[in-house]
Amino acid sequence: MIARQLGLSVIMLEKDRHPRFVIGESTTPLTDLYLEELTDKYGLKEVHNLTKYGRWKRSYPDVNVGLKRGFSFFHHEAGKPFQDGEKHRNQLLVAANPNSELGDTQWYRPEFDQLLVKIAEDYGVEYHDQTEVKNVRFINNDIEMAIEKAGVKKNVNAGFLIDASGPNGFLHHNLDLPGGNKFPNIPDRESLFTHFKNVGMTMDWINPDEKDNLPYHPDHAAIHLLFDGGWIWLLRFDNGIVSAGVSLDKKIAREIKLEEGKSAWSRLISRFPSIDDLFKEAEAVYPFQHMPSMSYRCDKISGKKWVMLPAASAFIDPMMSTGFPLNLRGIMRIGKILEHIKEPAKREELLNSYSVETKKEQQVGARMIAALLRHLDDFELFSALSMLYFAAASYSESAIRLKKPELVSSFLLDENPEIGPVFRQCYQKALTINTEKEKKSLIDEIYRSIQSIDVAGLSDTQRNHWYPVKAKDLLENAGKLNATKNEIIDYMKRTGFPVGSD
């Protein structure tokens, strides 16, 4: 769509057809903000209406979606029912927005992707599905693709190629590019996933006496069910479908024969009585999909006439839903490349920058996820480490809404001279701690380190793992954003944030 808005002719080739089952569904406030920025810059009003739950439901009531109010974490032990524990010791609820109207979304990809294709065609994109690209050749200043559809072969010529084909994308194989090294400290993991209907509610795990005090409904979230060696995600859609899958340590995956699909899923969840109860009436809507190796990255992700989307060039783990914001940041850079597509020197400069920046941001995500995966068995430390992400993300979101880009020039503040080095040090220490004393010291260091950017009350340990979105937190921390309280109030009124909330 961006290319069409810039006056370029576009052909989009799809091997499959829509609607289809695919995962990659959970947005974040950063996702919405980046998407808003892109759609405003390039005049894509139809896509802009998909950036908030309330706006989506009014604009596209027939396109299924799910409400995401935050991130919900529940820690489980094998053979034991879920136990909340003192001060919500085994759960963590972090709100991402103040209400459903401003809520983020879970994208029901069969209908969402189909909608985007229709909008793209309305913008003049030539679209071909059930089409296989047999070969790509770079000849002088032209790209020649041999394609085949329904047994009919033909050649397509283009001046630039964007690979959006997903994990270990098409160009990686077609150009026989060198394989990338694994991300440092990311263990070899497997995944199994599908969509279900009739899945139970995690709300049933909440103490009945405390339900009125919840920061949000825990099922309206990206739900993370953690256990030693892995974690299960649950993402709910308004049509009753639940996306569920597991990121699992290779040793456990081999032990339960994860590649066997449905039976392996049953063997896994039977280890955790409360998770098993969630699925006692559940039915899979699609066949189980097995991913024998989750993380990957490509060494070469751009050339003079081509570029891979971040999602085609690397993947780490779905933890914390970082895939969408990383991909959208890449699309922002590709937009600039397309703006200068007919200027060879400038285009090459931007392509080189794209490669450097994309790889750098992927490493930021990998560093965080490596530390979190290392401590799936220690929920106290896991929760503290997650605050590094939530503090950086909520600060970045607030700075963007206040139109202060100078405060957030890098992904999750990684290049901030004060924050970046401290956060990297915390993540590195998380990989090497061996004693309870070292653990306590690291947790203290984490909460100290986030205080200078905490605009969401995350360093207040008296909240006992329940963190709502409060206007009061933003107003009291206006100075950290180089803003006045009046500026905060103006931004809240502009964005629909309930100013009078506590």
Average pLDDT of the residues of the chain: 96
Would you state the pLDDT for residue 85?
Answer: 80
Would you state the pLDDT for residue 176?
Answer: 85
Lowest mean pLDDT, pick from 63-77, 140-154, 256-270: 140-154
Alpha carbons 442 and 374: distance in angstroms, whole number = 14
- pLDDT over 80 (residue 168): no
- pLDDT over 80 (residue 79): yes
Report the chain's C-alpha Rg in angstroms.
23
Confidence of residue 86 (pLDDT cuts 50, 70, 90): confident
Lowest mean pLDDT, pick from 129-133, 143-147, 295-299, 498-502: 498-502
- Burial status of residue 157 (CB atoms within 10 A of its CB: 0-12, 13-18, 19 or more): exposed
Would you state the pLDDT for residue 232?
Answer: 98
| Average pLDDT estimate for 421-425 | 98
| Average pLDDT estimate for 429-446 | 97
Report all structural domains of the chain as residue ranges with CATH numbers, in order of start.
65-105+183-291 (3.30.9.100), 378-502 (no CATH)
- pLDDT over 70 (residue 501): no
Alpha carbons 464 and 179: distance in angstroms, whole number = 45
Confidence of residue 502 (pLDDT cuts 50, 70, 90): low
Alpha carbons 175 and 470: distance in angstroms, whole number = 51
| Average pLDDT estimate for 477-496 | 96
Would you state the pLDDT for residue 22?
Answer: 93
In whole angstroms, how far apart are CA 101 and each of 47, 58, 233, 476?
17, 10, 24, 24
pLDDT > 70: percent of the chain: 99
pLDDT tens digit sequence for 207-244: 999 999 999 999 999 999 999 999 999 999 999 999 99
List the structure tokens of 471.
């206007």
Judged by DSSP in three states, 492 sits in helix
In whole angstroms, how far apart are CA 38 and each of 48, 192, 388, 390, 401?
9, 33, 27, 23, 14
Q: Which distant-in-sequence residues (6+ apart) come within 8 Å of 236 by Cβ?
A: 66, 67, 106, 199, 219, 220, 242
List the structure tokens of 116.
């985007």
> What backbone phi and psi angles, to 5 degrees, belong to 380?
-60, -45
- pLDDT over 90 (residue 140): no
